[in-house]
Amino acid sequence: MAPKSLLTLYGLNDTVLGLVGGSIPQSEGLDHAVRYFGTWSGSDKLMMTVQYTGKIVAPTLRLRALLQYTDDLRDAPFSPTADGLSKLSETLSAARRVSGLWGILPIIKWLSSIERSNPTSRAQLTIERIQALSMLAFYILETISFFASPAAPLIPRSVLSERGAARASLWSVRAWGLYTVLQIVHLRNDWKEAQEETARSREERSRARLLQRRPLRSGRRSRVSSLRLSLIWRSCRALFIGPLLVVYLRPSIPLPCSALSLLWLRSMVAGRRHAYRLPHVSPYIYKQWSVYHPFFHA
């Protein structure tokens, strides 16, 4: 039997050192958050949401500071919080562009999986091939334009001129726009498949709506919102539009939140795949999740 002093020490150890861990209950939501934000897509969508939220809130705070200064409620017409949010948005923007370096890996895996899968139709196979190639071009051109920009001037002007960097950026956005248009067509075809498969089984209709229709709706909203921005930046006129106007034209809040909620729903389903796997879920949806979510293979 252990001495009384040792038992007292053990009890003190459990009380003090185990206080924080013991007060945190087991949570499925916490497990889901770790699983979701541990992926490249999850962390990217979170940074995108914070980035564009800051771009919306910062001008509002500046206007508030100016009105308060006019009413003699503030000593200066400036808002330090707005300046901090602007700098945070710029930092997150650069971080997202740098993280695109390894974001190309899922695209390479996607290209490989397309040629080793059984597509539902020849048209779907063609759409997926063009989508994958357009995203590959997007990441390559985006990386070139970033490292030729003043933010990270690793490529000297003797190798790539300023005009060449601008054209690389422009064509990267056009490649992204092509992917977005084709994704809308792809989602439309998947929606038709989901409707046909849902009609075959009345018992599992409610589950099929949750697992198929809700992600497709969110995906369509996200792609349509992305298409607006790609059309803006596709033309050289975007160079003369203020960044704040572009943010408002993008619908900044709906797009990141829609993408964030879409991936959250997908990762939730992916985390429960060992509990059940519906036979009528579209193979394309499972394939897309397996490409963009490494934990799908856990």
From the first residue on, what is the mean pLDDT of each consecutive set of 10 residues in the chain (298 residues)? 71 83 86 87 89 93 93 89 94 88 88 88 90 94 89 87 90 93 89 76 63 63 62 52 51 54 62 42 40 38
Whether 260 and 49 have beta carbons less than 8 Å apart is answered as yes
Q: Can you give the pLDDT at residue 225?
A: 62
d(CA 54, CA 86): 6
Q: Can you give the pLDDT at residue 25?
A: 87
Whether 169 and 142 have beta carbons less than 8 Å apart is answered as yes
Q: Cα dihedral sign for 254, 260, 263, 267?
A: negative
Q: Can you give the pLDDT at residue 207?
A: 64
pTM surpassing 0.75? no
Q: At what angle do helices 40-70 and 28-37 cross, to 10 degrees?
A: 90
Q: Can you give the pLDDT at residue 47?
A: 92
Count CB neighbours of 286 within 10 A. 16
DSSP assignments along 170-212, one per residue: HHHHHHHHHHHHHHHHHHHHHHHHHHHHHHT-STTHHHHIIII
* Residue 72 region by backbone torsions, left for phi larger than 0, else alpha for psi between -120 and 50, else beta: left
How many residues in the chain?
Answer: 298
d(CA 3, CA 222): 65
Whether 227 and 180 have beta carbons less than 8 Å apart is answered as yes
**From start to end of 109-159, where are the E strands?**
none
d(CA 242, CA 239): 8
Q: Can you give the pLDDT at residue 275?
A: 39
Q: Can you give the pLDDT at residue 231?
A: 62
Helices (H), 71-79: none
